[in-house]
Chains A and B, each alone.
Chain A
């Protein structure tokens, strides 16, 4: 909404009262409806009507103040019965104040790279569980990945590329001065209560956060009450989702059976669908399926899926007078997922109170309580449609004793739920000791707890069958205490030069602990996990964990502005962290920035069309301390040893830090201390300029940056004879370079009609430049190029050995490494010719390319076959307003990233297109059940997409009645359409570029209502 409406109650007339009337217009002569006319120094006032007219009763000699958002206020003495106001548009939106690290700065005085987003712009978007869902594409340099769609799903988000391998990758999130943590999803904060998001990107902005600043910082400011009468807002939103495309499952079981038989026959195996038993399961013949003799046909999606519905209701009350301001809100969020019992519910209550005790001392507290419930279920809708849900006895049908994937059985018999409670509380005092000298003290506390319940029954689940019932209760809680205090001194000279300094101190204590109870072997399952003692007492399992860390910080900032033309910023922070090794306990993070306001230079005074032209440069160092606690200490392990007929706890040096190999059968041993362990360091250079022209109608922000991150936290291998596998070290380097452009244009700006365009463009090039010593880091060397690399990421579903992603020196992170293919082998001779042997050389197989031309296709023929990092991202937001109608269209695009499509060989839509003797295609190989395909470029797809992400139409009813000042009704379609060549459901996947299937993306239809009383 472009204007804010304040309606003031007029009170009865008294002596010497005049009725004054007039109009409020802008400089172009357009009326300004809703402008507030207040009797100066009182709370009495009125508002201009739709034609800009007003009428008010005032005492003689009083003054009237006329104000409206976006305009410069004007004050006039009541000298006659007719007073007309002509408000100038607020030329200087740059006077707007932004919250930055430990202080505020005028937007026009920024020296670093800082982006800002007003949340009112997103008021009509469907609210997810996390604010960040809606920030996708909105801020240059902020990458948001919405890969999950389940209830309560939260996205992951990154600023200016990834600059860590093992450490934290997400930015620090700070809410009203409280650092909630790296990558904090903000699910505890009521979305509509957020006023403002500020994204700190360059080092001069983030260095003040020291060892937590390297991944960028996101500052969230919640809504503050406006002065005036109590403001009550009720809002409700309902979102109904549908799949954007049909589920890709077998719809013709006979074809499925026929192709499965073909696939087995090609593998030299016995076909399944021949009307016989295999491993105890009867598989009907293709004829039986075709004739209908086989009675079962199950649509598994029908059995376990539904239409997802999300409801979100919020009631907020706020008000402010001279002494006291309050902000109360209550929100209920209910998310019914696409799986029938997959649910999420959340209630949040918030109370903010600010008390201005003395003119120069105010106290404030902000408290949020959030409670949520989650019931988890997901099942396989791709299960064999020939299999029934129930057997003839009405029990859940199982293909064999070891068939653990009947989704209806799992849905109805497995218990898997959790609930959480979070409390976020801040207490703050601001004291202006003398003019210009301000002291701020803040005490922040966060408490979070989660309790999970699960029960795997004796039947239908592998774990339950194996253990004869397995019950679990897990408890987890964490707390975070952050006392912080800083002192700011500001001095202004000659109205155009200013010095501002800040020094501060902060302490951060974080602790988490957990416990988990397991019971097995239940005689009677009726109580599931309600009575853990009902399990076999000899088999109970117990585990608990604890971790605590401390961070002590001193910081300072100096801002100096000379003649409002030259701006200097210097910051410094020193962090001492308990997580760092004894020899590296303290870290130091300096930064500096300079900006030149060209438009304030005398020689620019005549260039009328330029409102702002500013050049910025900054350089600084920030860190990433995202390691777990205790990594620098020696750590012993604990095992059980069966001695004297009983289990005894055995303790000694070395503990299991991870597993590898088939079923994770091999263990990694760690626990050797590294007293030198420290933070990852990022040096960042940022160059940028801001330009605003034509009466601020066209605004441009451009930034170029280069981020060099070194001392990456990595694990190195130790000699085997040490009895340890790996230890944490600082080793490795990554560079991220890129640029960001934001263009914002008010194309039309009149009273009845406005049209605004915002375009955001970002490009980031990421490169790993060092991964440490080849030997000790366990790197592999590519035989053809000498490239040093290591595999990373998750194992694939179709290729159990190894992974597809690598970290390679000289390459972007997570590039795909594998074989190249050149279509499909058409004849056996062609296969041998190509250097292939055995089954791989047969007609219908992938024609892998012998890239080193040694006549043999082997593992030496692998190369880089794709890059999951996008070339660039771009988005476009179009905002139209016609009188009381608002229309927003938001389009977001990601370009040039590769996605590994894992289901290329099992896709029911393309399997019929397989190679056969009669269909000598070059696109798809033959079906062969025992093929173990290599990771190859055949599976790599272009993941570029352009999404019409949001289309939203709203209507504002103003001055509905005495009680209701505004009603806004809106309807939004989210994810209306996606333009992409990707053949899976959706190309938006995680950073590693691997597509995991799942279900199609939702198209969300939301309707919403905001009522302001």
Chain B
């Protein structure tokens, strides 16, 4: 009898236990995970926006300038900026000894892969889904575009890099291997962009990729490869396609953009005035094939932008007006002077160049147009959001990094053609109030002239370093690089971050 009671009780305890303990699984609550996401078209749309969003993060969106501009001859860097962005100073000064541990490079590297992983997540989950075909096609187009765009960002900065072809879901996916050759890297990027090009339409939506952007990027990739190989840049020298073949590909892809725009099939073209390109209220203007989406109503940096403040003078912490073309006063927030323009670069502009007279200035005005003072350097007017002042949004602005402009593609076409450019360079110069290039230039002279034209046209837009690199003229052009005593080969790429080398066991598989 005693034993019976004991048994019953133990039994009942065990049964009660078994009842509750059969399932200790955790289910995500209040957050999304692979278990509860990618089920609907809205999920997929939201996932692609997450991929775009990766680029807006400060580490990437500011990195565009810390690397692409500060390391060139266009701008200097505020002293002490290293306290905020460790490594930026080494980039500006071409102090290359510890670039494997340069934090600015490291975070830029990482964010390219954050974007790639988010794009891969879309590719993986949308590809096999039963979403509406049209939607599926577009989403895949955008995802492949972003994957290629980010890999190209990496290739431009670091040369050969790990290629991440799948979504990282477990630790097993965290060690992608390096591209063994530039051909391998280009094959993947071009393949991705061709899918994007085929899948996307000629749309124009701020912050989203489209067919013309894919074509433009293809042109840019081929031009980079062609000119790099031509200049004998490491990794490019042994690419399998010939320089001429690659110039031809660049020209042919660029021409698709130009033709579609001219014919009205694509809503792009040269903006009639310079001011219109940089009008913060017209991010969907015809110049912008691909532009980063940011808005002053956002809560965190990345959602809103501080890019303009990096370029503008401090003016004792008071807002001021700039003159964008005679008599056109535009209110500007004061800046942090992180990227003061190098005067030597400023002097390279033709005095009549409107890209100098209208898009750059030294005087700071009050509302009545009276001069308040002179900036220590000629600042650019490309990143001004007057609403920042009129709506008192503080640091928050809507200025956006220009990721791919129509005139960029037009100049790519001209450079790839090497001569007979269909008048695009002349049109771009005319808009800036300049005469066409001198006639009778050799192919090489013409190409060099176009590269110089790019320096003026795309100044401060995060392009210059990569133009210098593919033409192997970093040390020739940037006095800091010269002073640092580095070779052109040293300047061609930054090293892969040490942490990647240390932690990725599959890197050289």
Contact = CB atoms under 8 A, between A and B. Distances in A.
Interface stretch (B220-228, B362-370, B494-502): B494-502
A579 B25 CA distance: 9
Contacts of A77: none
Contacts of A778: 499
A541 B299 contact: yes
Contact of B58 (A487, A641, A665): A665
B106 A634 contact: no
Interface in A704-733: 717-725, 727
B326 interface: no
Most buried by B among A466, A554, A636, A653: A653
Interface residues of A, number: 85
A653 B106 CA distance: 20
A706 B50 CA distance: 50
Contacts of B294: 642
B507 to A, nearest CB: 8
Interface string A644-683: 1001111111110000011101110100111100000000
A721 B299 contact: no
Interface stretch (B113-121, B254-262, B446-454, B469-477): B113-121
Nearest to B106: A720
Nearest to B6: A437
Contacts of B115: 723
B162 interface: yes
Contact of A651 (B13, B43, B174): B43
Contacts of B84: 661-663, 665
Contacts of B168: 653, 672, 722-724
Contacts of B440: none
A653 B26 contact: no
Contact of A545 (B30, B58, B208): B30
Contacts of B161: 721
Contact of A644 (B10, B164, B205): B205
Given A487-B9, A636-B33, A719-B503, A642 B106 contact: no
A633 interface: yes
A44 interface: no
A578 B21 CA distance: 10
Contact of B303 (A545, A546, A642, A654): A642
Nearest to B56: A641
Interface in A478-493: 485-487, 489
A662 B208 CA distance: 31
A90 interface: no
A61 interface: no
Contacts of A800: 83
A723 B154 CA distance: 13
B46 A505 contact: no
B298 A642 contact: yes
Contact of B114 (A486, A662, A723): A723
B5 A640 contact: no
A652 B50 contact: yes
A721 B24 contact: no
Contacts of A504: 13
A83 interface: no
A775 interface: yes
Nearest to B503: A719
B43 A640 contact: no
Contacts of B301: 665
Contact of B83 (A549, A719, A801): A801
Interface string B5-46: 110011001101100110011101111111101000001011
A502 B297 CA distance: 63
Contact of B13 (A485, A663, A674): A485
B29 A639 contact: no
A505 B10 CA distance: 10
Contacts of A486: 13
Contacts of A629: 26
A632 B50 CA distance: 23
B298 A640 contact: yes
Contact of B28 (A635, A650, A721): A635
A917 B113 CA distance: 57
A647 B26 CA distance: 31
B175 A719 contact: yes
Nearest to B13: A505
B109 interface: yes
A653 B110 contact: no
B503 A776 contact: yes
B458 interface: no
B459 interface: no
Interface in A440-498: 466, 468, 485-487, 489
B117 A653 contact: yes
B55 to A, nearest CB: 10
Nearest to A433: B5
A669 B118 CA distance: 12
A638 interface: yes
Given A641-B207, A662-B83, A721 B25 contact: no
Contacts of B175: 719, 721-722
Given A505-B16, A578-B26, A635-B33, A721 B303 contact: no
A462 to B, nearest CB: 10
Nearest to B293: A642
B167 interface: yes
Contacts of A651: 32, 37, 43, 46-47, 50
B13 A642 contact: no
B171 interface: yes
Given A552-B20, A633-B28, A722-B168, A653 B173 contact: no
Contacts of B499: 717, 719-720, 778
A115 to B, nearest CB: 31
A721 B500 CA distance: 7
Contacts of A548: 29
B324 to A, nearest CB: 24
A633 B26 contact: yes
A538 B297 contact: yes
Contact of B10 (A487, A637, A662): A487
B26 A632 contact: yes
Interface in A613-629: 629
A719 B207 contact: no
Interface string B117-160: 11001100000000000000000000000000000000000000
A632 B171 CA distance: 12
A548 B26 CA distance: 9
A858 to B, nearest CB: 13
Contacts of B73: none
Contacts of A550: 24
Contacts of B206: 642-644
B456 interface: no
A576 interface: yes
A653 B43 CA distance: 12
B16 to A, nearest CB: 7
A541 B114 CA distance: 26
Contacts of B49: 641, 643, 648, 650
B14 to A, nearest CB: 7
B279 interface: no
B293 to A, nearest CB: 5
Contacts of A554: 17
A727 to B, nearest CB: 7
A632 B33 CA distance: 12
Given A585-B24, A669-B114, A721 B59 contact: no
Top 6 A-B pairs, shortest CB-CB distance? A652-B50, A723-B117, A722-B174, A719-B504, A650-B49, A650-B50
6 contacts: A503-B10, A546-B30, A633-B35, A641-B207, A654-B118, A669-B110
Given A507-B20, A636-B33, 6 more contacts: A505-B14, A641-B52, A643-B49, A654-B118, A672-B169, A776-B503
Interface of A: 279, 433-434, 437, 439, 466, 468, 485-487, 489, 503-505, 507, 513, 538-539, 541, 544-550, 552, 554, 576-580, 582, 585, 629-630, 632-644, 647-655, 661-663, 665-667, 669, 672-675, 717-725, 727, 775-776, 778, 800-801
